[in-house]
Amino acid sequence: MAAFRQSLNGAGYVEGRNVAIEYRWAQGQYDRLSPMAADLVERHVAVIVAWGPAAARAAKAASATIPIVFSVGDDPVAIGLVASLNRPGGNATGISLLTGTLVAKRLELLSQVVPTATAIAFLVNPKSPSAAPDIEEAQAAAQALGRKLNVLKASAEHDVEVAFSTMHEQRVGALLVGADPFFTERRRLLVGLAARDAIPAIYDFRESVNAGGLMSYGTSLADAYRLAGIYTAKILKGAKPSELPVQQAVKVEMVINLKTAKALGITIPRPILLQADDVVE
């Protein structure tokens, strides 16, 4: 959010001075999104900024006229947000992140860091629109790597606790956490449980590594929000979403927490360390 506000500031919009931001946090609970979007529409906001495909679709369903700036990891065309990337049409445009497309790469990195993990757990949110394609991609990657993939599902905090109990029973050697706002919001819970059970895990965003997770590989959230802020400012100045092509957030980063690796008794292979964009010690 700091990056988002900085983009607005750079365009002359300062929160509390000449622009107000109405924050709505669903905390990964998708059933909250529709009433939240409806409330924003009733307040006649100038722009709705939506993070994640579920939030974007809720905003799109709530209004066909209020401009929407989204940040999603799914294909915006495939999930019905825009007509095309170059010519969005309608009232929505935004940022496309590389999240689901990086599932196979995350699994590959995890396998290299934990070569003894013959069975790997994949934690997904079954309510996410990207759950099914992510599972399919992860299963194909696991098969190619010669690893067994145990798919576990969680859409509530209790489910997360159950999933970790299941991992213990199944004796998985590592964990791949799905890219989903529900998990991002609960990164401290996930990191804490992984540390408790000594399970090496890879996440999508560096924020989880900053919270104590082992490693991450994915799009920079700050960069995505920066781009969303630029588009929001343009719309506030009169640009139409239909004329702003969907941008690709291409800044991908790998971050490793060496303190966590040491606690887990893991030695990060030198080639992986050399690839890392940042190291937390």
33 and 151 inside one domain: no
pLDDT of residue 100: 59
211 and 128 inside one domain: yes
121 and 193 inside one domain: yes
Closest CA to 56 of 130, 154, 3: 130
144 and 199 inside one domain: yes
Q: Does residue 157 contact residue 189 with C-beta atoms inside 8 Å?
A: yes
Containing structural domain, residue 211: 100-218+253-280
What is d(CA 161, CA 183) in angstroms, rounded to the nearest whole number? 13
pLDDT of residue 250: 77
209 and 239 inside one domain: no
Domain count, the chain: 2
270 and 163 inside one domain: yes
247 and 259 inside one domain: no
30 and 118 inside one domain: no
- The two tokens of residue 234 are 């343009």
pLDDT of residue 75: 84
Taking CA atoms, 4 is separated from 127, 201, 205, 212, 271, in Å, by 27, 28, 17, 25, 34
Residues comprising the chain, all counted: 281
| CATH number of the structural domain spanning residue 31 | 3.40.50.2300
Taking CA atoms, 40 is separated from 35, 61, 167, in Å, by 9, 12, 40
10-residue block means of pLDDT along the chain (281 residues)?
95 96 88 96 97 92 97 87 94 85 92 97 90 93 97 95 96 94 92 98 95 95 93 97 91 95 96 95 89
49 and 10 inside one domain: yes
Taking CA atoms, 22 is separated from 3, 16, 223, 225, 233, in Å, by 17, 11, 21, 16, 15
Alpha helices in the chain (DSSP H): 2-10, 33-42, 53-62, 103-113, 131-145, 157-170, 181-185, 187-196, 206-210, 221-236, 258-264, 270-275
34 and 153 inside one domain: no
127 and 79 inside one domain: no
What is d(CA 204, CA 224) in angstroms, rounded to the nearest whole number? 13
245 and 265 inside one domain: no
